[in-house]
Structures are given as C-alpha cells and as structure tokens.
Structure 1
Amino acid sequence: MFTAPHRRLNRLTGEWLLVSPHRATRPWQGQVEDVVDERRPEYDPSCYLCPGNDRAGGATTPEYTSTYVFDNDFPALRPETPAEQLGDDGPLVMESERGICRVLCFSPRHDLSLGEMSLDAIRRVVDTWNDQYVQLGSIDWIRYVLVFENRGAMMGASNPHPHGQIWANERLPNEVARELHQQQMYAANGQCLLCDYLAVELKHDERIVCANEHFVALVPFWATWPFETLVLPRAHQGALPDLDAGERDALADILRRVTRRYDRLFGVAFPYSTGWHQRPTDGEAHPEWHLHAHFYPPLLRSATIRKFMVGYELLAQPQRDITPENAAQLLRSLPED
C-alpha cells in the first residue's frame, strides 16, 4: 500500500479522501481531553431513562425490563409540520420537513453499554430496530428511517444510559441520497457495489477487523475517521427485515465484538456515532441497496486525543494520517473478552 501522500475514492459517496501516512510520526501538541470516569450505578434516580423516573417532558418512564421505545420529548422533526416552500430556482430555497423522532433504551440498566450486554439482550435491540424500521417505514409519507446511536459526551450524548435514536424523514437525508446514487450507478452494470467491495476485502484481508458466518466488520479502504469501521452482511440484504433468525444472532455477535474491541483500544468507554443505512421506504424495491452500518469514533491517538475536522477538511476534503490498514491491524489485534 502507498506510503506517500495519495487520494482514495469513497465509493459510497463519490468523494475523495487525502491520506498522508508520513504525518503519523509528527509530534502531537494539540488538545488533550480529560478522561472521564464513566463508572455508573445500575440504577440512577436522576436519570430520566431509568425505569420509574420522570422525564423533562412530564411523562414517566415505565418499569421496563428489556428494550423501551418512546417518542422523543424534544424532537428535531414533527409529523404535524405544515407544508411550506420558498423558491425553487433562486438563491433562497426552503421546504418544510415532516418526521418522527423516537428514543430506544437498550436496557433498563444504567451501567451497561452495547458491548457489555449479553448476546440475547443485544439481539432484542436488533429486533427492536427491525420493528421500528417496519413500523415507521410503513407510514405513507415516510421515505427514510435512520437507526443510530451516539455514545459518550464527546459525541454529544446527553445521557450515559444505554440508548439510541430512530429518526424517520419525509425525504432522503444527504448522506443516504449520496449513497443511493452511487449504488444505483454501480448497479447499472448488473452488480452490487458493496457485494463486490466486500469480496475484494475478504480476498486481501488487510482491513478486516472481525467476522462470523454472516457478517464482516472492517475498516473501509476510504475511511475518514481514524478507527472508523463498516459492518456488512455477507449476503446481499437491503434492510434488517431481510435477515433471518441466524443472521440476526450473527449481527448481535458482531456488534458485541466490535464495540468491545473499541473499549479495549485505549482502555476507555470508546465514544462513537453509529447508524444503520437501510434501503429507503419510498415504495420502490431498491435492489441495488446493500445493508450496512457505519461506526464513526473520534479518538485519534489515545483516550485523550481526538481527530478534528477543521481547516483543510472543512474547506477542501477529508484527510487522515494513520492509514486504514494500520487502524485495522490495531483493532484486529485486540482481545474481545
């Protein structure tokens, strides 16, 4: 692999990434974060996501024993938003956007994370993701359902209780629209972009982090974040409802293994944003779409040093120093238990 500065094409978005391997050896004198002790009690009386506690919106969280889903008390999108539009060919363009925002508690226990939960408990999370995708996607005006999790204060999580979110949009979000276009362009030749990509990764085995019978976790060739990973089903599946029971078990296993490796990398509860990109729910078949999850963690060199998207990244294109190959080697070398 190249050791000199070079560009890599992100096949999923069509955008280029600058890789500068030689810069990984430079002295670091940047920002250092405080390491937060994240030891938590099993139940926190001040946590609005713990069973039996009151939420800011006035509701009470029930005494749930598994997963629990509720409509966000302070949603970014609302289903009753009236239709409005401003311009379509001038410099000022605006249109209203309806949507539904929900919160998914992974567990009633305040002290756990996804990687610390049992496989059965993670499988229940997978099943709940599936149910929410089906339920929200069946609403006639919902075009996309995004399941995601922000873990850690560094990623903007307002509460350490294990939870994620589901946002359902009236229109396709930007990242999804870009990925849809790229997959459709590739499928014009009768092939699946991510099926072909996964075959190449399995052949070379340079960026594979871990795998099982049905899923593979890898650092993508075009990764922007230092320890970014992509989780892919080996079979061509478009959304979570396409997975059978064995594949859902395998998904729970791979999620546990990936998140546990993250926590062992720098010896801290590893922050990240992760989410599932599934086929749109716009009534079209979308045979080109291949189900996948992105993990975007910000930590760069240690528990206290993170990657910033500034300067060149904001004004030109993404750039990274540590290569995806080296990142994958580090993650692969870590124990899972």
Structure 2
Amino acid sequence: MESAAGGGGGGFRASEHQHSRYNPLRDEWVLVSAHRVKRPWQGQLEKPPPEDVPRWDPKNPLCPGATRANGEVNPNYEGTFVFPNDFPALQPDAPEPDDSGHPLFRAAAARGVCKVMCFHPHSDLTLPLMSLMEIRAVIDAWAELEAELGASYPWVQIFENKGAMMGCSNPHPHCQVWASSFLPNEARLEERTQRQHHSQHGVPMLLEYAEQEAQRKERLVVENEDWLVVVPYWATWPFQTLLLPRRHVLRLRDLCDSERDSLASIMRRLLIKYDNLFQVSFPYSMGWHGECPISSAPLSPSLPLHT
C-alpha cells in the first residue's frame, strides 16, 4: 500500500484518489481511478468455459497427422512444430501500392512472412501445464525463429492469443510469428522513447525500471535470479504483467542456457498463477518485444492479460 503524501491523514493515497500515471514506453498518461473498484457490480457474470479439449483430434488442423486447409498433412511431430501460416496477414511478394495523388491517402508497401508454431503435440496441454523441459523447447524454438527471420526482416513479432475470448480460433496450444518489412507502431514508439531515455539518463529505460521495481516490491508478482514479473506502474488492464530480464539483453537468441531455463521456470509460475486466479485456463494476449535494428532496447516480453 502506498502511503499518504506528507504523512497526513488527509493526504493523497494512490489506492483512494484518482490520478494520472505516466507510461514512459508510450509517452502517454493513464488515468487511475482505483476507488471505482468499490462500486457494486450488477452487470454480466461469466461462467467458466467447459474444459473439454481432446488430447488429439484428427479434424483439428494443428494436431499431428492432421490435414490442414491447404491440403498439407502435418508430420507426427513430438515436440514443437513450425509451419507457414495458411492464411497469412503478410506475404513476401506483395506489390507496391499505387500513388493516390493526395497526401491524405497515403499507402506504403507491407511485406513479410507469417508462421505458426505449435507448442506441443497434445491439444489439452497449455504452457502452464507443460513441463519445464517442454517450455524450454518452446523458448529455444522462439529464439531460432527470431534469428532466422530477423536475418531478412527488420521486425519479428512473436505473440500468443490464448482462448476464444482473445480471438484464438483453435484451442491447440500455439503461437504466431510475424516478420515484417516495417516497424509496427508499437515498436516504433518504444524505440523512440527508449532511445530518448538512454540519451538523457545514460541507462536503458527498462533495465532501470526493473531495478526500481525490484527494490520497491510494490508491484512484484514473481521473480528469480534472472527475471522479474511486475504489474506495470502504468498498467491499463485489470490483469496486466510485464516480464523483464535483470541484465541488459536485447534478443531471445542472446539468452544463455541458464537464462532460458529460468525463463521457462518463471513463465510457468506466472501462468499457473493466472490459471489459479479464477480456476480456469486463463485467456490472454502475450507478445515479446526485443531489439529494433536501429536501437538497443532491452528485451521486454509483456503479458497484457485481459478478462
């Protein structure tokens, strides 16, 4: 609990009084109205979805041995499995858009590659239910894809949308990897703010932030020797966390063996906490943010989880 300013009983309390908090990554202010959690709720209440995912379904296009929409048959994989997205948002050979002739109707080329990565051959095993060795294999596959696609594209986005509530169209545990010829808005903004912070203060923003949160222990969710998970000071979602390394590391592929092991451990611990929160396989959106090619922003995997 944050104490009252000035020590007086009538002073500011962050848990009682509305205020704005600055998000240095996005260079924006977030309104915090913590007192509103006390209002009575008479709105909709959701029942936990039934957990009835079969371990293997021959009709599920992500399962081993199943046939996908394009007619290709998956191998009988026993670990992770990566394949080109059959319905990609980005393609490598898209033509240049025509010039509209007016500055208010601008368009630019957008090319890239989209891949899907299955975490495990079993459809009923989400990340928190997998073993540490199996999660480590997922991390290694992420790092390999990041290196492979990053050799040709300036941005590689690894992300997972889990659960139908988050728009996931298939319950089989998987993520997507998009490599693009351009920097998305979020990456471009984070590159600018972190470059500016480093120029002004001489230290990487998120490294300094991680050190501050480790000392304050006000928003710390879980930690180990290499990583810590916090609720960001500037959080906008009810259940939002930020996973940060304790050292200045730029990319997944730069992690040593022990850091990959400890990353598997802290991810499992965090995701188990989410599942236990409402006794349900928790829906979320998770994305990894690493180095932009024109910056030196530290690895910033974030888990903005939505209810």
The residue aligned with 2:129 is 116
CA contact (8 A) 1:85 1:96 kept: no
* Aligned-partner Cα distance in 2 for 1:138–1:88: 34
Instruction: Give the structure 2 partner of residue 29 of structure 1.
Output: 42
Matched, 1:166 2:177: yes
Q: Residues 192 and 51 from structure 1, CA distance in 2 versus in 1: closer, same or farther, beyond 3 angstroms?
A: same
Tell me by how many angstroms 1:89 deviates. 6.6
> Per-residue displacement from partner, 1:46-90 (whole Å, max 9, x unpaired)?
211110001112111110010000000000010011122535872
C-alpha contact (below 8 Å) 1:86/1:95 kept by paired residues = no
Check the 8 A contact 1:218/1:229 in 2, yes or no: yes
Q: TM-score by structure 1 length?
A: 0.85
Deviation digits for residues 13-58 of structure 1, max 9, x if unmatched? 1111101011101112333334311232211122111100011121
- Relative distance call for 1:213 and 1:170 in structure 2 (3 A) is same
Q: Structure 2 residue aligned with 1:59, among 42, 62, 72? A: 72
Quote the residue 1:106 is aligned against: 119
Distance in 2 of aligned mates of 1:256 and 1:245:
17
Structure 1 letter corresponding to 2:89: A
Q: Once superposed, what is the RMSD of the aligned Cα atoms?
A: 1.3
Cα distance in 2 between the residues matched to 1:218 and 1:81 = 40
Q: Partner residue of 2:159?
A: 148
Distance 2:45 2:184 in 1: 33
Decide whether the 8 Å contact of 1:49 with 1:161 is kept in 2: yes
* Residue in structure 1 matching 2:168, options 157, 160, 174: 157
1:192 lines up with 2:204 in the alignment: yes
- Residue 247 of structure 2: aligned partner: 235
1:46 aligns to 2:59 (yes or no): yes
Of structures 1 and 2, the larger Rg is shown by 2
Partner of 1:137 in structure 2?
150
1:179 maps to 190
Q: SS of 2:260's equivalent? A: helix
Q: Is the 8 A contact 2:146 2:156 kept in 1?
A: yes
Q: 1:55 to 1:195 in 2, by over 3 A?
A: same
Once residues 249 and 170 of structure 2 are traced to their aligned partners in structure 1, the CA distance between those partners, rounded to angstroms, is 33
- Point out the more displaced range, 229-238 or 21-30: 21-30
In the alignment, which of 235, 244, 269 is matched to residue 256 of structure 2?
244
Q: TM-score, normalised to structure 2's length? A: 0.93
Does the CA contact (< 8 Å) of 2:242 and 2:304 recur in 1?
A: no
In the superposition, relative to structure 1, how do residues 85 and 193 fare at CA in structure 2: closer, same or farther (>3 Å)?
Answer: farther
What's 2:224 paired with?
212
Cα distance change of structure 1 residues 206 and 88 upon mapping to structure 2, 3 Å threshold? farther
Q: Which runs of 5+ in 1 are unaligned?
A: 300-337
> SS of the residue aligned with 2:285?
strand
Task: Answer yes or no: is 1:5 the counterpart of 2:18.
Answer: yes
Q: Which runs of 4+ in 1 moved over 6 A?
A: none
Q: Which amino acid aligns with 2:199?
A: A
